[in-house]
Amino acid sequence: MAVVGIVPAAGSGERLGAPGPKAFALCGGRPLLEWSLEVLEAVCDRVVVAVPAGHEEGRDRVRGGPSRSASVREALRAAPEATVAVVHDAARPLLTRDLVERCVAALDERYDGAIAAAAVTDTVKEAGADGRVLRTLDRTSLWAIQTPQVFRADALRRALEVDEEVLAAATDDASLVEATGGSVRIVEAPPDNLKVTRPLDLALAEALLRERAEA
């Protein structure tokens, strides 16, 4: 079994206010990307990173696509040996080895994917275009989906071979696998597996990383 990490890291840093690509923004004195790579390289046989144009220099770097899932596709194409693909966003620097290993272990013969997620704790309402509440959803069965997302590599390859418009509309790779009939299961993530999107997220991630280092 060849376990290959796939890191889509070609996104801009616009919402973060970073001067360049988000994956290379500093977090705790290191580029965001390096925190995830350190963990993935300890678990996976190889890690391929999809980067923005001009950042391809280095081992296992490929140019990313026009969307997140297109970048995943390009990175996976560069790893034909992969039988298991571990997809993780560079913007989640608090990744732990335990979470990656639990997701990989959860990928048994019944499933095509195993994905990290957090149980929804807020009340969730569906609203119309005018803001009028249509209904309150039952949160007991709702999960906020994160990464890592672990797949049988062939199932992910099939799911990614769709039009660019479909890839651009996908909010995660699991939804593409589900659309092909694949079966995906939830793996509960720790509460600090946050995604850095805005400056406040970056400050919180730095504080948590500092606290982890001191512990």
21: left (phi over 0), alpha (psi -120 to 50) or beta: beta
pLDDT tens for residues 13-68?
777 777 678 899 999 999 999 999 999 999 999 999 999 988 888 889 999 999 99
β-strands 84-87, 30-31: how paired?
Answer: unpaired
70 pLDDT band, cuts 50/70/90, is very high
Instruction: Note the residue count of the chain.
Output: 215
CB proximity list for 9: less than 8 A, separation 6 or greater: 21, 22, 23, 33, 49, 50, 51, 52, 64, 71, 90
How confident is the model at residue 58, as a pLDDT? 83
> Which H, E and C letters describe the chain, residue by residue?
CCEEEEEECCCCCCCCCCCCCHHHCEECCEEHHHHHHHHHHHHCCEEEEEECCCCCCCCCEEECCCCHHHHHHHHHHCCCCCCEEEECCCCCCCCCHHHHHHHHHCCCCCCCEEEEEEECCCCCEEECCCCCEEEECCHHHCEEEEEEEEEEHHHHHHHHCCCHHHHHHCCCHHHHHHHCCCCEEEEECCCCCCCCCCHHHHHHHHHHHHHHHHC
What mean pLDDT comes out for the span 198-203?
94
Give the pLDDT score at 16. 78
Mean pLDDT, residues 186-194 taken together = 96
Overall average pLDDT of the 151-168 stretch: 96
Separation CA 139–CA 96 (nearest Å) = 26
If phi > 0 it is left, if psi is from -120 to 50 it is alpha, else beta; for residue 136 that is: beta
Average pLDDT, the chain: 94
pLDDT of residue 53: 87
pLDDT in tens, 124-133: 999 999 999 9
Q: CB-based contacts of 193: which residues, under 8 Å, 6+ apart?
A: 92, 94, 95, 96, 99, 116, 118, 146
Counting residues of the chain whose pLDDT is more than 90, the rounded percentage is: 87
Q: Give the global pTM.
A: 0.94
Mean pLDDT along residues 104-115: 96
Check residue 18 and give its pLDDT. Answer: 74
Residue 101: the pLDDT is: 98
